[in-house]
A and B are shown apart, each in its own frame.
Chain A
Amino acid sequence: MEILNAFFSAFVDSSSAAFALAAIGLGVHFGYGGLLNFGQAGFMAMGAYGFSIWTAVVAPTENWGWHPIASFLSAIVVGIIAASIYAFILGLPTLKLRGDYLAIVTIAAAEIVRFSVRTTELTPITGGSQGMTGASIKTDIQEINPLPSGQYGFWVFEAGAYDTWVRIIGWSLVAVAVVLVWALFRSPWGRVVKGIREDEDAVRSLGKNVFSYKMQVLVLGGVLGGLGGIMYILPRALQPDFFATPTTFYLWTALLLGGAATVFGPVIGAILFWALLNGVRSIIGVAHEYGFFFGLSSTQAAQLSFVFVGIALMVLVVFRPQGIFGNKKELSFNV
C-alpha cells in the first residue's frame, strides 16, 4: 500500500509537472534540435531565481501596490526573460562550434549560476546558500488561489488547497507546452529544426540561417526549463543546490525514459522517473523494515535507489535508446 502510494502520487505531484516542463525543454533541445544541453538545471535556476527575486525582493505587491495576479504573472515573465537572456548568452559563442562545446559550456554555466547565487556576497538578493523560504515566494500565488481551504482529490491524490492549486497551474503549463511543441514541430519551422539535427551543413546549403534556428531552439527549450524551475520551487522553497548537475542528469533520465523526440515522451518520462524513484525507495524501505540488507542503516538503503536510477539509465540507453514511447525507426541515436 505504502509502495503504491509512493508510486502513484507521482502521477499528480507538481514535482512531476516541473520535471515534465524541464524535460520537454530538454526534448526540444536534444530530441528535435540535436543540441547537447547538459545544463538544463541552469535554465531552471534562471527561471526560479528570476521569479523569486521579483516576487520576494522587488515585491511589486508590497512596494508598488500591484494586484497579486499582475505580480505573479509578471514574476513568471521575469523568469522567462531571465532564462531567454541566459540561453542567448550561452548560444552566442557556442552554437557555431561542434556540439560537445555546447555541452561543456552549458554544464559549466549552470554551475557558474549555482555558485554565483549561493555566494555570501549576494545573500540580500538571492538568499545565499540558504536560498529563500517558501513563505517569501508564495505570497502572490497564495493570494490568488481561488480554491477555498480544505482537502481535494481522493486516495493518494488528496492534497490541501495550496498544493492542489499549484498542481493545477503546473499541469496546465505542461498541457500548454505539449500543445506548443506539437504545433511547432509539425510546422515548416519544426522541419527546418529537425533537418538541422540531422545535418546542419545540408540545411545551411539550402539557404537556412542555421545559427538563428539553433538559437531559437536553445531559447525555447531554455524558457521551458525556466518554467520548470518556477514550478519546482512553488510547492517548497528556493534551494540553490537543487540546481546542480545531478538535476540535469535526472532530467536526461526522464527524457530518455519517455523518448526524446516525442511530444508526450518527456511528460510520461518525468512521471515515471518520480514514480519509479519513489516506488523503489519505498520498496527498499519496506524491505529494510523486514530485515533485509543486514545491518545497513535505512539511509544507506535509500541511497541504493539512486544507484538503481543510474543503472536504469545505462540499461535504458543501451537497450532502448528511443525510450518507452519513441519510434525505434525515428530515434536511433546518430547525432
Chain B
Amino acid sequence: MSKVTAADLISGTNGPGVAKKDPIIVADGVTRQFGGLKAVDVDHLEIPRNAITALIGPNGAGKTTLFNLLTGFDKPNTGTWSFDGTNLAGIPSFKAARSGMVRTFQLTKSLGRLTVLENVLLGASDQKGERFWASFIPGIWREQENANREKALELLARFKLDAKKDDYAASLSGGQRKLLEMARALMSDPQLVMLDEPMAGVNPALTQSLLDHVLGLKEDGMTVLFVEHDMHMVRHISDWVVVMAEGKVVAEDVPEDIMKNQAVVDAYLGSHHDTDLGSITGQIEMEEALQAELAEERADADTEAATDKEQS
C-alpha cells in the first residue's frame, strides 16, 4: 500500500489545527472543564477523510475526553463540530452514531451475557424488529434479520470469530473482545470508525491481525481515527498523527516526522513515551483514579491473554 504524504492531506503550511483538503470532522473551540482543569481545549482540528489518523499524547492529555465529546458521550462547555458537513454539537450520542460514525471503547464493552452473534447483530442499523410493537410480528423483521445474520457471519469470519458465534461474549479473551467490538461497529457500514486504544490489553499474538484489520477498514473506504499510546503501532499503520498534551493539540504531522517535532518531545518530556505527564504536572485526581482502574483492567487482560496463550 502506498504511503500517504503530508501534501496529500493538508492544504497550506503544516502546524497544529492545519486545514485538510477533505476533512470528515471539523471541530472548533471545543473545551471541556472538570472542576478547575481544562481537560480539553481544542481551538481547531480537522480529521482527513479516507485516511487513518492517530490521536496520541501522554496520559491525561484529553484524548479520550475529546473522543467522548465528538461522539456525544460527554457534553463540552463550549465548541462546535461537524461530521461530514452536518453539525453534531449538542446531538445525543445515539444520533451521532446513526449519522455514520461508530466508536469503540478503551475498556472494551462487549455485552457479556449476549452471544457473540447477538453482539454483532446489535450493530445493524434500522432493524424494524427493534421497535416495540413490530417486534411481536416476526413477519415484519424476519427477512431483514436473516440478511443481517448473513452479514454478521461474514464479519465474524473476517475477524476469525465465527467458530465462537454461539458463545457468550463474556467467555472471549481481551483481544477477541476488541475484535468483536470492531466487528459490531462495522455492522452498520459506518463512514468513520473511531477506535479508543484498540491495542490496549490485546494478546501480542493478536496485535498484528488487529493492525491488519484496521488497515483493511481504510481499504474498504472507511475513515479511521484512533487513540493510541504505542508509537510503534502508530508509525506502522497511521497516515496522519495528531498530538495532544494538556488538552490542546500541540502538533500534527505524518508519522515519520512527528517525533522530530519539538512540541511533541516536550509533551513527552523527552523520556519514555509512556511517562505519565498527568501526575508530573500534578494534574488530576480523577485521571489518576481512571488510570488505576485501567491498570487493573490491563492486568486482568494480560492474565487472560497469558492463559489464552497457554491454552493454544
Please determine whether A203 and B122 come into contact, CB atoms closer than 8 angstroms. yes
Within 8 A of B (CB), among A272-322: none
Within 8 A of A (CB), among B97-137: 97-98, 102-105, 109-114, 118-119, 121-123, 125, 127, 129-132, 134-136
Instruction: Look across to chain B and name the residue whose beta carbon is closest to the beta carbon of A335.
Output: B113
Q: Which residues of A contact B129 (CB under 8 A)?
A: 187-189
Please determine whether A189 and B135 come into contact, CB atoms closer than 8 angstroms. yes
State whether the Cβ of A190 lies closer than 8 Å to any Cβ in chain B.
Answer: yes
**How many Å lie between the Cα of A331 and that of B135 in the bound state?**
24
Please determine whether B168 and A329 come into contact, CB atoms closer than 8 angstroms. yes
Q: Which residues of B contact A201 (CB under 8 A)?
A: 73, 105, 109
Please determine whether B130 and A188 come into contact, CB atoms closer than 8 angstroms. yes
Using known A-B contacts A188-B127, A206-B184, A210-B94, determine if residue A330 contacts B71 with beta carbons closer than 8 Å. Answer: no
Please determine whether A192 and B168 come into contact, CB atoms closer than 8 angstroms. no
Please determine whether B122 and A191 come into contact, CB atoms closer than 8 angstroms. yes
Residue in A191, A194, A207 whose beta carbon sits within 8 Å of that of B94 in the complex? A207
Task: List the count of A-B residue pairs having beta carbons below 8 Å apart.
Answer: 102
**How many Å lie between the Cα of A194 and that of B105 in the bound state?**
19
Q: Which residues of A contact B122 (CB under 8 A)?
A: 191-192, 195, 203, 206, 208
State whether the Cβ of A216 lies closer than 8 Å to any Cβ in chain B.
Answer: yes
State whether the Cβ of A183 lies closer than 8 Å to any Cβ in chain B.
Answer: yes
Using known A-B contacts A191-B118, A334-B112, determine if residue A206 contacts B136 with beta carbons closer than 8 Å. Answer: no
Q: Which residues of A contact B114 (CB under 8 A)?
A: 191, 194-195, 198
Instruction: Look across to chain B and name the residue whose beta carbon is closest to the beta carbon of A199.
Output: B109
Q: Which residues of B contact A331 (CB under 8 A)?
A: 113
State whether the Cβ of A123 lies closer than 8 Å to any Cβ in chain B.
Answer: no
Please determine whether A207 and B141 come into contact, CB atoms closer than 8 angstroms. no
**How many Å lie between the Cα of A194 and that of B118 in the bound state?**
10
User: Which of B110, B125, B132, B181 has the largest number of chain A CB atoms within 10 A?
Assistant: B132
B19 → chain A closest CB, angstroms: 29
User: Which of B94, B119, B136, B181 has the largest number of chain A CB atoms within 10 A?
Assistant: B94
Please determine whether A204 and B93 come into contact, CB atoms closer than 8 angstroms. yes
Using known A-B contacts A188-B135, A210-B94, A329-B168, determine if residue A205 contacts B113 with beta carbons closer than 8 Å. Answer: no
| 0/1 string, A77-95, CB within 8 A of B gives 1 | 0000000000000000000
State whether the Cβ of B188 lies closer than 8 Å to any Cβ in chain A.
Answer: yes
**How many Å lie between the Cα of A118 and that of B82 in the bound state?**
55
Residue in B102, B109, B121, B168 whose beta carbon sits within 8 Å of that of A188 in the complex? B121
Q: Which residues of B contact A197 (CB under 8 A)?
A: 113
Please determine whether B111 and A194 come into contact, CB atoms closer than 8 angstroms. yes
Q: Which residues of B contact A191 (CB under 8 A)?
A: 114, 118, 121-122, 130
State whether the Cβ of B145 lies closer than 8 Å to any Cβ in chain A.
Answer: yes
Q: Which residues of B contact A207 (CB under 8 A)?
A: 94-95, 97-98, 102, 125, 188
**How many Å lie between the Cα of A210 and that of B97 in the bound state?**
12
A184 → chain B closest CB, angstroms: 6
State whether the Cβ of A172 lies closer than 8 Å to any Cβ in chain B.
Answer: no
Q: How many residues of A contact B (CB 8 A)?
A: 29
Q: Which residues of A contact B15 (CB under 8 A)?
A: none
Q: Which residues of B contact A187 (CB under 8 A)?
A: 129, 135-136, 138, 141
**How many Å lie between the Cα of A261 and that of B125 in the bound state?**
26
Q: How many residues of B contact A (CB 8 A)?
A: 41
Please determine whether B113 and A183 come into contact, CB atoms closer than 8 angstroms. no
Using known A-B contacts A195-B122, A205-B93, A206-B123, determine if residue A216 contacts B132 with beta carbons closer than 8 Å. Answer: yes
**How many Å lie between the Cα of A270 and that of B98 in the bound state?**
42
State whether the Cβ of A209 lies closer than 8 Å to any Cβ in chain B.
Answer: yes
Within 8 A of A (CB), among B170-216: 181, 184-185, 187-188
State whether the Cβ of A135 lies closer than 8 Å to any Cβ in chain B.
Answer: no
Residue in B98, B112, B132 whose beta carbon sits within 8 Å of that of A198 in the complex? B112
Using known A-B contacts A194-B111, A198-B111, A331-B113, determine if residue A205 contacts B135 with beta carbons closer than 8 Å. Answer: no
**How many Å lie between the Cα of A331 and that of B188 in the bound state?**
29
Please determine whether A184 and B136 come into contact, CB atoms closer than 8 angstroms. yes
Residue in B93, B113, B135, B145 whose beta carbon sits within 8 Å of that of A194 in the complex? B113
A190 → chain B closest CB, angstroms: 7
**How many Å lie between the Cα of A205 and that of B93 in the bound state?**
7
**How many Å lie between the Cα of A153 and that of B119 in the bound state?**
48
**How many Å lie between the Cα of A190 and that of B103 in the bound state?**
23
A6 → chain B closest CB, angstroms: 37
User: Which of B113, B121, B145 has the largest number of chain A CB atoms within 10 A?
Assistant: B113
Using known A-B contacts A203-B122, A334-B112, determine if residue A208 contacts B130 with beta carbons closer than 8 Å. Answer: yes
State whether the Cβ of A202 lies closer than 8 Å to any Cβ in chain B.
Answer: yes
Residue in B112, B130, B145, B185 whose beta carbon sits within 8 Å of that of A192 in the complex? B130
Sample (26) of A-B pairs whose CB atoms are under 8 Å apart: A187-B129, A187-B136, A188-B141, A189-B129, A189-B131, A190-B135, A191-B121, A194-B111, A195-B119, A197-B113, A198-B111, A202-B110, A203-B122, A204-B93, A205-B97, A205-B105, A206-B97, A206-B122, A206-B187, A207-B98, A207-B102, A207-B125, A207-B188, A209-B92, A330-B113, A334-B113
Which B positions have Cβ atoms within 8 angstroms of A? 71, 73, 92-95, 97-98, 102-105, 109-114, 118-119, 121-123, 125, 127, 129-132, 134-136, 138, 141, 145, 168, 181, 184-185, 187-188
Which A positions have Cβ atoms within 8 angstroms of B? 183-184, 187-192, 194-195, 197-199, 201-210, 216, 261, 329-331, 334
Sorted from nearest, which 10 A-B pairs have the closest CB atoms? Answer: A189-B135, A202-B109, A187-B135, A188-B129, A198-B111, A207-B97, A207-B98, A199-B109, A188-B130, A188-B127
Add 17 more A-B contacts to A199-B111, A201-B73 (CB < 8 A): A184-B135, A188-B127, A188-B129, A191-B121, A192-B130, A194-B114, A195-B118, A197-B113, A201-B105, A204-B97, A205-B105, A206-B102, A206-B122, A207-B102, A210-B94, A330-B113, A331-B113
